[in-house]
Amino acid sequence: MKHIAGGLQWAVFLIASSIAAPIAIGHVFGMDGAETALFIQRTMFVLGLACIVQATIGHRMPINEGPAGLWWGIFVVYAGMVGVLYSAKEDALQALQSGMMYSGVLFILLAVFGLVGKMKKLFTPAVTFTYLMLLILQLSGTFIKGMMGIENVGDAIDVRVVLGSVVIVVLMFIMMNHKVPWISRYSVLLAILIGWILFLAIGKAPSITTVSGKWIDLPDILVYGKPIWDGGMVVTAFFITLLLIANMMASIRVMENLLKQSFSIETKDRVKQGSIASGINHMLAGLFSAIGPVPISGSAGFVGATRMASLIPFIIGSTIVVVMTIFPAVMSTFAALPAPVAYAVTFAIFSKMVEMAFHELAADQHQQQAYKVAAIGLMIGVGLMFVPSDSFVQLPGLVAAILSNGLITGTIAAVVIEQFLLWKGGKATRFD
């Protein structure tokens, strides 16, 4: 029974932490309500499958898959090309759908030729600290705005939403650290249920809308047509894949350290298998016209908060998500989860990741060098977060997508700076 309850908690966390991306992409492409609902269905279906693939043949750790932020950025860039390079939104989406498949093939090829394992050596404690801190800083603004009820530029702070969010955050912290084991283990599920009831009581929970009259509705495949050859997308997919591999390795490293330090669980090096699984998952994303998935570092915060390191609840939760997506009524219900509740719960979870980040930095054997690497990486990454995205519109699509993502650019800067300092001291990373 505890595995089922844990699985339900994983399912709720996976949906709550991933549903924003398909909604936002649907908005930028001008999709209507029905199109957006189907896009959400396909994305969640792929994410559930992706988690199962990773847990069984990939890295075999409880790391949930979420919509890759880099692909999210590329979707936004390509939405701006409609009417310029692409005559209709369907043409742009067809190119993106094909890009997922290109990326899937590249993931597998890089793993088979052994390049992924060599890249892992670059993720030292200093680089991992920089990555985690940039991830937290990039998302903290979104969490706070969501907890204040701010959805669009110019929206006023909603006092009732703020008070409700504060109550949930406080409850979440209390339950995460509760002495009763089952309360701390299911703190996320309990906080979401209490928060949903609270927001219903204060009149801030959206109503459930029906998007389909069918009881069961399987996700469609190749919604935007057959895969096509797009030279620009091939180049984009190549660089995006390299960056997603870096993201994947950072997430794996964070979870490995958590399992070792907090649960005394030793894990095998399965980065190669994880990359192959990511390739399969990207091809699934292309097949089902969804968003490319990537292992999410926030899983470590979730596992640390709930004390659930077992793979069984994780696989059950992923299976629940896959099954739920074929029932439109269930997906409509989850789509009605008040956004501030999800943001408040996630805020508490990510606070755990701040602790993990500093533990990483403390583990670096070269402290002074680590401080320099982290300082420069953070300044570059955070600085780019404050540059308006409109400022990049004149740049090539790939360059715009990378520079507009402070997380990736700051992490790359940290890797380059550290390797330069190591090379200067005659200790550069060897890949043989």
Q: What is the pLDDT of residues 82-129, one digit of tens each?
A: 776 777 888 889 999 999 999 999 999 989 888 877 776 777 888 888
User: Are residues 329 and 372 in contact, defined by beta-carbon separation less than 8 angstroms?
Assistant: no
pLDDT tens figures, 247-290: 788 888 888 888 888 887 877 888 889 999 999 999 999 999 99
Q: Are 278 and 294 in contact (CB under 8 A)?
A: yes
For residue 290, the model assigns a pLDDT of 93
Q: Is 128 in a helix, a strand, or coil?
A: helix
CA 315 to mean position of chain CA atoms = 18
Q: Residues 355-369: pLDDT tens digits? A: 878 887 888 888 888
Q: Give residue 422's pLDDT.
A: 83
Q: Give the angle 43-48-53 at the CA atoms, nearest 5°.
A: 120
> What pTM value is reported for the model?
0.73
Percent of the chain that is helix, strand, coil (3-state, to 5): 70, 0, 25
Cα separation, 116 vs 250, in Å, equals 12
Residue 34 has pLDDT above 90, yes or no: no
User: Which one has a higher pLDDT value, 334 or 324?
Assistant: 324
CA dihedral 209→75→149→187, nearest 10 degrees, is: 80
Give the CB-side neighbour count of residue 385, counting CA atoms within 13 A. Answer: 20
Q: Quick one: average pLDDT of 202-208?
A: 82
Whether the pLDDT of residue 396 is over 70: the answer is yes
The full set of domain ranges for the chain reads 2-125+143-347
Query: H-helix or E-strand containing 52?
Result: helix 33-57
State mean pLDDT over 179-199.
82
pLDDT > 90? residue 320 = yes
Distance CA 258, CA 272 (A): 20
pLDDT band, residue 332 (cuts 50/70/90):
confident
pLDDT for 50: 96
Is the separation of the CB atoms in 262 and 304 below 8 Å?
A: yes
Q: Could you give the 3-state DSSP secondary structure of residue 66?
A: strand
pLDDT band of residue 397 (cuts 50, 70, 90) is low
- Average pLDDT of the chain to the nearest whole number: 83
